[in-house]
Amino acid sequence: MSPTSYAVVGGGILGVATARRILQLQPGAEVTVLEKEAVLAAHQTGHNSGVVHAGLYYVPGSLKARLCRRGVHLLQDFCSEHELAYDECGKVLVALDEAESSRLSDITERARANGVPGVREIGSDELREIEPHVTGVAGLHSPHTAIVDYAAVTRAMAEDITAAGGSVRTSFEVTGIRPDGDRTIVTGADGREVRAEQIVLCAGLQADRVAALAGDEADPRIVPFRGEYYLLRPERRDLVRGLVYPVPDPRYPFLGVHLTPRVDGEVMVGPNAVLALAREGYGWSRVSAADLRDAVAWSGFRRFAARHWRTGITEMLGSASKQRFVGAARRYVPELTADDVVPGPRGVRAQALGVDGALVDDFRITRRGPVLALRNAPSPAATSSLAIAEHVVDILLDRKEAAA
């Protein structure tokens, strides 16, 4: 008999999407979402740039590639049904030199293999037609790349859950997970308990720690990287029409500074990527000795740092200097000056690092008995959320195997 009670740990977009999917397939099931903060979407989801990624970069056939493309369609339909903003503003990858231009063909091939519609390489003249203030020798145009408000999407999903009879419990910090006969007990910091037959862990920045409560292994470990943004002043928002991104460099672990319009009209410039001093530390003043110790003690992080210390120094310098930070974006928009921007939002990315020091690139899911854990969900997880939920629930219902 299929289980009828579920606890989903994590009130970000992935946890809420998963709970919603369970209720779609098992109406009447007892489904409870547990979120440690007082509101949903408090961390990665609420600090997301809002980009609906089209699937340009991902290895064809990977979970990222498949679930991203499926997720785009599901998300667009969801936003239409719930009257939420979904703006296909388009995206250009801008090549600054011939070396970057030569990499565009490989990205184009991947994008087409992934089924991204309308993607094509463009020359400098057409680039200026699409983005009049952007300079580059060539580009790749993805006209259907879009932007949304992921926190609003999460809240709408939560409304679907409660309307279907599910429960969303905030201010419930999970501190224990233990078996109890045919059920599992999830304990909160205040002693409250929830009993369920199946547990799904979508804990984001705390993914490894919450999984450890259920007996999962330490590898991979979450290491937090903070991304900082500036915002264009309102009178300078016309410097870009859509998303302006660099061409990814395979030698470096992060993408680099880009320009991102949002559905509220703001335009973000960033992010950089620096080691966060706390897993939920959105500024330099928030320091957690325990979080730093966990990061530095992890042999995977030490191996990662040994490979990328030069990039780390560059990112730190950008964090300390507004001129340097804006200078990275000015390579694409030469008219941009430091006076055109004001301090903007910050986010923390939950990046899983393997013991070998490599970034865990694809989504990773593990299962131990009745407990399924989403151990790594980097970008494009928000884009893919509804498709990830389908995939996770298929595993719960034994329709497919977990991909550890």
pLDDT per residue as tens digits for the range 91-124: 999 999 999 999 999 999 999 999 999 999 999 9
Same-domain pairing of 214 and 287:
no
Same-domain pairing of 157 and 254:
no
CA-closest candidate to residue 343, choices 268, 281, 402: 268
What value does the mean pLDDT of the chain take? 94
The average pLDDT across 78-88 equals: 98
pLDDT of residue 320: 76
Same-domain pairing of 332 and 227:
yes
pLDDT per residue as tens digits for the range 195-240: 999 999 999 999 999 999 999 999 999 999 999 999 999 999 999 9
9 domain-assigned: yes
Tokens of 92: 């250009």
Same-domain pairing of 214 and 327:
no
pLDDT per residue as tens digits for the range 360-369: 989 999 999 9
pLDDT of residue 398: 82
DSSP codes, 292-311: HHHHHH-HHHHHHHHHHHHH
With pLDDT > 70 as the criterion, what percentage of the chain qualifies? 97
Distance CA 331, CA 55 (A): 25
Distance CA 101, CA 106 (A): 10
Same-domain pairing of 207 and 225:
no
Task: Examine the pLDDT at 129 and tell me if it is beyond 70.
Answer: yes
Contact 95, 137 (CB under 8 A): yes
Same-domain pairing of 232 and 346:
yes
pLDDT of residue 117: 97
pLDDT of residue 199: 98
pLDDT per residue as tens digits for the range 186-205: 999 999 999 999 999 999 99
Same-domain pairing of 184 and 298:
no
Same-domain pairing of 162 and 41:
yes
User: What residues form DSSP beta bridges with 260?
Assistant: 268
The average pLDDT across 330-347 equals: 97
pLDDT per residue as tens digits for the range 34-56: 999 999 999 999 999 999 999 99
- Mapped onto helix, strand or coil, the DSSP state of residue 35 is coil
Please count the structural domains in the chain: 2
pLDDT of residue 404: 46
CATH number of the structural domain spanning residue 227: 3.30.9
The average pLDDT across 75-102 equals: 97
- HSE, side-chain direction, 13 A CA sphere, residue 11: 25
Distance CA 376, CA 156 (A): 24
Tokens of 104: 């565009």
The average pLDDT across 1-30 equals: 93
User: What residues form DSSP beta bridges with 199?
Assistant: 7, 371
Distance CA 139, CA 123 (A): 6
Using a cut of 0.85, tell me whether the model's pTM lies above it. Answer: yes
pLDDT per residue as tens digits for the range 239-278: 999 999 999 987 776 788 999 999 999 999 999 999 999 9
Q: What is the 3-state secondary structure (H, E, C) of 144-178?
A: CCEECCHHHHHHHHHHHHHHCCCEEECCCCEEEEE
- Mapped onto helix, strand or coil, the DSSP state of residue 76 is helix
Structural domain for 186, as ranges: 5-47+151-220+362-396
CA-closest candidate to residue 201, choices 35, 353, 387, 361: 35
CATH number of the structural domain spanning residue 19: 3.50.50.60
Distance from the Cα of residue 69 to its chain's centroid: 15
